[in-house]
Chains A and B, each alone.
Chain A
Amino acid sequence: MQHLETDLLILGGGSAGCIAAMRALQVNPALRVTIFEKSDITYGGSIARGMDALNIVAIPGRTDAQMYLEAVREMSGGIVDAAPSHVMAERSYALLKEMEGWGVKFPVDENGQYKTLKYHVKGEFQTAMDEPELKAMLVKRALDLGARPVNRVMGIRLLTDGGRIAGAVGLNVRTGQLVVCRAKTVLIASGGVSRFTLPNSGYLYGVYDYPGNTGDGFVLALRAGAGVTGMEYTQRTALIKDSNMPLLAICVTRGAKVLDCEGTVLMEGEVNNINAMNVAFTEGRGPVHIQLSHLPEEKIREIEHILFTTERPVNERFFGGRGIDFRKHDIELWPTEYYLCGGHGLAGIRVNERAETAVPGLYAAGDVASVAKQHLTGAFVFGEIAAEQAVKYCAEQPDTMFSEADVEAVRAEHAERFSAKGRDIEIHEFERKVRRMVADYLVSPKNEYKFSLWNYWSETFAKDLRNVAVHSGHELSKLYEIENLLTCADCSAVAGSFRKESRWGETHRRGDYPARDDANWKCHVVVKLKDGVLTPEKTPISELGEEVIL
C-alpha cells in the first residue's frame, strides 16, 4: 500500500480536474495538488482530444446570464437551481478569453464576431471552437505549474474525520494496489455514469461518453454523506447507429435536416426538438436520419473536418467502412443507450454555486456534479470555482487525520475481492447482465412493477458480486466499477419510483403516472444514504439570491 499526503486531492484528471489543478496553483503556487486519474492524464476523460464548440458562452452584447438561465430552465422542465447555472454563464466569457490566452482557436466571421450556433432555446450560446489538442494543452499547463498526477488510479473510498473530508483511498487499475492519500480537501471530478445500459451494438465499451466513467464519484459522495440528485433523469440521445459517437449538433447547427422514416422534417438548422426524435421512434416512425446532401460542398467539408479531426476522428473510418458519403447518403440515428451525467442531463452530486457538497471540504465539478446541462463550460467554470474554494478552505482549516480503522476496512474488502479461487462468474459476463437489467427495468416507460423487479435483481447482484472471479488488478478495478454502477442504478430506481409523475419527455415517462404534475413534483429529488439505506427526499428549487439546499 502506498501512502501519499497532499493539500488538494482531485479525483479525475479530465476537463474539470485539470483546470481545477491549474486554477488552484495559480491562486496558491505553494499548494500541493495531487490528481488520481484512472487512465493516463494526457488524453483521459470524455474529451480525449478536443471539442468543436464551447457549448455555453454568454457573449456580452449578444446574450447574457439571465437569458441562459431561462433557456436552461425551459430545457430542463424547470428543475434547475438558479445560482449555479447563472454564475456559470456569467463567468463563461472570461473563460473563453482565458482559453484564447492558452492558444485555443475560436473562429470569427468576416466582422470579427465569434461564430455561434443555435442549440439553446433562447439564444446562440454555443460558440464554435477549433482545437483538436485541447486536452493535451490543458494537461501541459497543469503539470507545468506543479500538479502531480497519479495515473491509473481510481478513487474507491473517501476518508473523513468527524464528518469533514480527510483524504481518499485509490486503486491502481493495472496492478490492483491500493493508494492511501491524506488530503485537506477533495474535489470529485470523475465524470458521469457512461456504462449504464448496454448499447444496441452489444459492445460493452461502445458508448457515447468515456467508458471509464462508471459513476465512481456519485458513490464516493453518497457514502461520505453528500446527496445526489436527478438520478431519475435517465437520458437517451439519438446517436450514430452502432458507433454511438456524437454528431447531431455539429450537423444540424450547420444546416442539416433531421427526418423521420416518412420524410417529415423534425429539425433543421437548430437543435430545438430532441424529444421529437424519441417520439418518432416510440410511434414507429424511426429510424430518424440526418440529411446533408442538400448542403453546399463547403458546408459538408466543414462538417467532415470537425467530425474527422476534432472530437472523435475515428468517425472517418466508421463511415468509410460502411460506404457512407454525406453527399449522397443519410446518417442513421438510433436511441440506443441510456446514461446519467450532469454535463448533458441533470444527474449529479448536489452542489451549490461554490461547488460545495453537503460534506465540509468535499467539492464536485464537471459531469459528476448536478449543475444542469453544463457541458464543457460547466466543467471548466466549476473546476475553477471548486479550486478557488478549496484553496480558501485549506488556508482556514486545521489539519485532519482519518482513522486507520477505515483504511483497514477498505484493505480487508480489497483482499477479499482480489481472488479467482472458487468463483464462477467472469467479470465481463457480470457487467453485461447488470447493464441489461438496468435497461430492462430502469428506463422509460417506467412503472412501479418494473422498479420492484429491479429490486430483486439488485439484491441478487449484491450477492453475485462476491462470486466474481478476479484474475488481475485490471479486473479488480472493473469489479469496483460495476459495484458503483449498481449503486447508481439503485439510486435511479429509488428516485424514479419516488417521482410519481412524468417529466422531460422520454427521459422520465411513467406508464402509471403519465401526466406532468407541477403541483407536487416541481422540485428536486435528492437521494442520500441514511443508516445504510438510499433515501429519497423532495428538495425545493432555489431562485437567485437563495441558498441551494444541499
Chain B
Amino acid sequence: MSPNAKRRPSVDTPTLKVPTRARILVRGACLVGAILLLLPVVPGASAPVVVPALSPFVAIAALLATRTFHAVALVGLAVGAVGLFRRRLFCRWVCPVGLCTDGAGRLGRRLGRRTVRGPKVGPWIVLLTFGGACLGYPLGLWLDPLAIFTGLFQLGPDGGVTFVLLAVIPFLSLLLLSLFWPNLWCTRICPLGAFQDLLFAWCRVPGSVLRRRGSENQTRETRRRLTRRTALGMAIGAVVAWATGLVRGKTSRPLRPPGAIDESKFVGVCTRCGNCLRSCPSGIIKHDLGQGGWPSLWTPVLSFRDDYCREGCTRCAEVCPSGALERFPREGKARVRIGLAQVDMDVCLLAEDRECSACARWCPYGAIRYVFSEAQYTLVVEVDPDKCTGCGACETACPTTPKKAIVVSPIATPPNAQLGSFGAQGQAKRRPILP
C-alpha cells in the first residue's frame, strides 16, 4: 500500500477536494486554452505540441528512454518543478482532463455511483514506466492523460467514421471510467498525478533539501518504504522492458513517420497523442491497428496509398511531445530515411514494355532509374538505396492496381543512424574505428 494513502494529509498537501468556483473557472479556462491550442486556432504549426508536452511524466520518461534532450521537454520539466512545492498543483488548477473526469464523476455520483477506494496503481505505473525507460522502453506513457486528451482532436484531412472513433475511444473510456467509479482515475490510476505525488513525497523524506517544517510526519520509515517501492517498481519495469525487448520491434516493423527513433524504443516513447497524424499536410499518417503487433496499437504508421511524405516537411517531428519522432532540419529531409522503395517486376508495367515512367518522374530525390536489361530485352527499375528515403512518392504515383509495383518497405537498420549525421553525436558514431 502507498505510504501516502495511509498517512493523513499534512498542512501543505491538500488532497483533491470538491473544486471551488475559482478553481473550476481557472480549469475551465485552461480547458478552453488547450482546445484552442489543439484545434489549432492558435497560429504556429508547433502550437499543438504544448498540451501533451505539459506532462512532466512524459518529459522525464522520454528523457530517460531516448537519452536526448529536446527543448520541448522544458515545458514538462517546468510543470514538474512547480509540483515540487505545491502538491498536485497542476491537477487542481490546470489539468483539462481532470475537469472532464470530475464532471463525469459528479454525474456518476448523482446517478448513485459511489467513490471507490481501490489500491493506488498510479505510482506503480509511474515506477514501471521509469524502470522500463531506463532500458529505452517506457511502459506506460500511453496512459498519460494529456496525451489521451490530445488524441481526441483528430480533425485530420480524412475524417472518416473509423478515424473519429479511433480518436474518441481512449478519452471516452476515461469519461466512462469516471462516470461509473467517480474519482478512480484521478486519485488511483492517473500516472501524471501519481508522478507528482511521488515527486512531492521524495522531496520531503528526511535528508531532502526541500523538506519543510510542516512535514515532520515524514519519517525515516517512510523513506525506507519509498525507497523500497521505487526500487522494486523500477526493477520490475526494467525486467519487463528487457523481456519484451527480446521480441519487440523485431518481428514486424511498420513504416514510421520521418525521424522516428529505433522501433524497439518507438512503441514505448510514443505517447499516442496523435499530434503527428493531425499535423501531416499529406494525411499519410494513420493509427496502427495491429500492423506492428499489440504493443504498437494506436501508434502512427504511414500509408502511401493517397499521398507521400513531402520533401522539406518537418511538421510531424515538430509536434511530437516525447521525441519519439526526432526533430531534424528542413534541409536535411533528403537524408531522413523512412524506408526503402522495392520493386516487384512481376507487377511493374515496364516488364510488359508498357509506356510508364511514373515512379522515376515523381521521385523527389532522383533515386529511381530504368536500366535496359539485355537478357530480358526490357527495362528494369533500379532504386538507389543511398538516395531513396522511402518518402513513398513512387508508391503513390505507381498506376498498377490493386497491387502497387513499387512499395516502400521498412528498413532493417535503425533509422536514427541517418539522423545522427546532423549532430556531433552522430558524427562520432559514424567515425571509422581505427586500430
Instruction: Say whether A associates with B.
Output: no
